[in-house]
Structure 1
Amino acid sequence: MKRRNFIATTAAGAAGLATTSINAKEQKPIKDFELKHNVNHSVCQWCFDHLPLEEFLKVLNGLGIKAIDLIGPKDWSLLKKYDIHCSMCNGAEISLTEGWNDPQYHETLIKNYTDVIPKVAEAGYTNLICFSGNRRGMNDYVGLQNCVDGLAQIMPLAEEHGVVIQMELFNQVNHPDYMCDSSLWGVELCKRLGSDNFKLLFDIYHMQIQEGDIIRTIQNYHPYFGHYHTAGVPGRNEIDETQELYYPAIIKAILDTGFKGYVAQEFITTWDDKIEALKDGFMRCDV
């Protein structure tokens, strides 16, 4: 092929791809929204905070979605009003940057988690989130041992109440200096704690950016993953054709491990109709 013909053909192909990308962003209302219920679906409320929580719970009821992530004790009564399960509780942490890797926060964290763990169990919930905190120049091995020393003091209470403490994995692009940014670091923490009541919250978006090889990681380390979050890469937007991950294959890999927990949508939608975008996300993960 002559160079000028090759360039012309390539340009036409690129234009076609651009058109496909634009069309993929068009909102196509999902008329037949019906889930197979092979997946325990959930959603992070903060991504849809254009609606008051109560209004959002009504939407979830209408969609047949029975769980929501990252809700604290003050709103659990509202969840119960609408028969929505809290699939990942919060409210005991200090912040994402001030966590278990720094002993100066242990006293406060131990007090907070000692207070919240029984409340989680009493409410009928299971999962409670935690964070490593930032490095601030700290060696990862030192931070790992600090996490073990601190978390070990609340694990007997978590085990007694059947509560699973889950540390979330983040990437260094969105959360620079956060320590728990590696599946292997998190898995080592799980191993050192040696409790079935400590797991990792595997955020697919974060780990695609940080380390990639998502399906292999799930296959190799799934016993240590207690919960999953979704979002499109790059941009943390919809999980449709405009991003690089193929979620049906990822969710199938998760189910193939025998996972019975929750997969929560945590993307920031660019669609005008945010609920249609959410429905689209659920359907793509409903393998």
Structure 2
Amino acid sequence: MPRFAANLSMMFNEIPFLDRFAAARKAGFEGVEFLFPYDWPAAELRTRLNGEGLTQALFNMPPGDWSQGERGIASLPGRQGEFRESVKKALDYAAALDCRLLHCMAGIVPAEVSLTTATAVYAANLAWAAEHAQPAGVRLVIEPINHRDMPGYFLHTQAQGAAIVEAIGRDRLGLQFDVYHVQITEGDITRRMEQFMPIIAHMQIADVPARNEPGTGEIGWSFVFRRMDALGYQGWVGCEYRPAGETTAGLGWRETFGV
């Protein structure tokens, strides 16, 4: 049976962020993830995790200037120094939260930057980050993101992500397989899941088209969840969806799909 982690950036938005840890535990979750922890002291987040007996499954490295539309800087030339500082900051938080996976966002490549240049910068940055994360017991993950939600995002197909993982090394880098993004960009979810399972380190779910909870859209979740189990996936499955209504009221999908 999949192990679900509540995404506290998207779920339980009815209450303040720090109160969402307790809400997630009360709703039956044993793990949590979120986009970014950097607005709160790591010690405060650790206290919330400990108080509820929760595991921190994943969070993202600093993304650059989010308010100005940046979605990661790993593939952006001229930002290597800033990138390295962001790695150090993320690893400090990972140590404090005992988090073993960090998502490194690739970024939206400016129109004037060639794909060749962006690829070279991305590979060099990932190799540097992985070299520093591995001794800390942290594995980096990269996530292909669909171009409908995030136009111009550098990494957008599973095959592209897999090639980068193999180039850097499976022991240091894994694929973050988001069912929502896969369905929008490529479809054929479970075949791609089967193809890339050896390098999948983290999975996330949301239904298509509205990115709400499972059962609100077009995806056949009973089959998807069965395939996760049949393929032997042992990692966390992040619930990175926007509840269609009140979060707890929408959690009936777990019973509906027997998970």
Shared fold per TM-score greater than 0.5: yes
2:218 counterpart SS class:
coil
Q: Which residue of 2 aligns with 1:42?
A: 5
**Aligned-partner residue type, residue 78 of structure 1:** R
The structure 2 residue matched to 1:78, chosen from 45, 48, 68, is 48
The structure 2 residue matched to 1:201, chosen from 173, 176, 184, is 176
Would you say the 8 A contact 1:54–1:78 is kept in 2?
A: yes
Q: Which residue of 2 aligns with 1:263?
A: 237
Would you say the 8 A contact 1:169–1:180 is kept in 2?
A: yes
Would you say the 8 A contact 2:72–2:104 is kept in 1?
A: no
Distance in 1 separating the partners of 2:203 and 2:159: 16
After superposition, where does 1:154-165 map in structure 2 within 5 Å?
A: 154-165=129-140
Q: Normalising by the residue count of structure 2, what TM-score does the alignment of the two structures yield?
A: 0.87
Q: Which residue of 2 aligns with 1:191?
A: 166
Would you say the 8 A contact 2:77–2:117 is kept in 1?
A: no
Shift of 1:89: 2.1
Percent of counterpart pairs with the same letter? 19
Shift of 1:173: 0.6
The structure 2 residue matched to 1:251, chosen from 222, 225, 239, is 225
Q: Does 1:106 align with 2:80?
A: yes
Distance in 2 separating the partners of 1:174 and 1:261: 26
Would you say the 8 A contact 2:144–2:181 is kept in 1?
A: yes
Uncovered stretches (5+) of structure 1, i.e. residues with no partner: 1-37
Distance in 2 separating the partners of 1:206 and 1:136: 22
The structure 2 residue matched to 1:213, chosen from 184, 188, 206, is 188
Moved more, 151-160 or 57-66: 57-66
2:202 counterpart SS class:
strand
**Pair 97,57 (structure 1): closer, same or farther in 2 beyond 3 Å:** closer
Distance in 2 separating the partners of 1:119 and 1:136: 29
Distance in 2 separating the partners of 1:98 and 1:89: 13
Structure index of larger Rg? 1
**Aligned-partner residue type, residue 135 of structure 1:** V
Uncovered stretches (5+) of structure 2, i.e. residues with no partner: none
Q: Does 1:233 align with 2:181?
A: no
> Which has more helix, going by share of residues?
1
Distance in 1 separating the partners of 2:166 and 2:256: 33
Give per-residue Cα distances to partners, 1:142-192, cap 9 Å, x unaligned. 423321111111212211111011122211111011011111111111111
Distance in 1 separating the partners of 2:121 and 2:177: 21
Q: Does 1:51 align with 2:11?
A: no
**Aligned-partner residue type, residue 240 of structure 2:** E
Q: Does 1:275 align with 2:245?
A: no
Q: Normalising by the residue count of structure 1, what TM-score does the alignment of the two structures yield?
A: 0.79
Distance in 2 separating the partners of 1:245 and 1:231: 9
Distance in 2 separating the partners of 1:125 and 1:280: 28
Would you say the 8 A contact 1:238–1:267 is kept in 2?
A: yes
Shift of 1:80: 2.1
Distance in 2 separating the partners of 1:55 and 1:267: 18
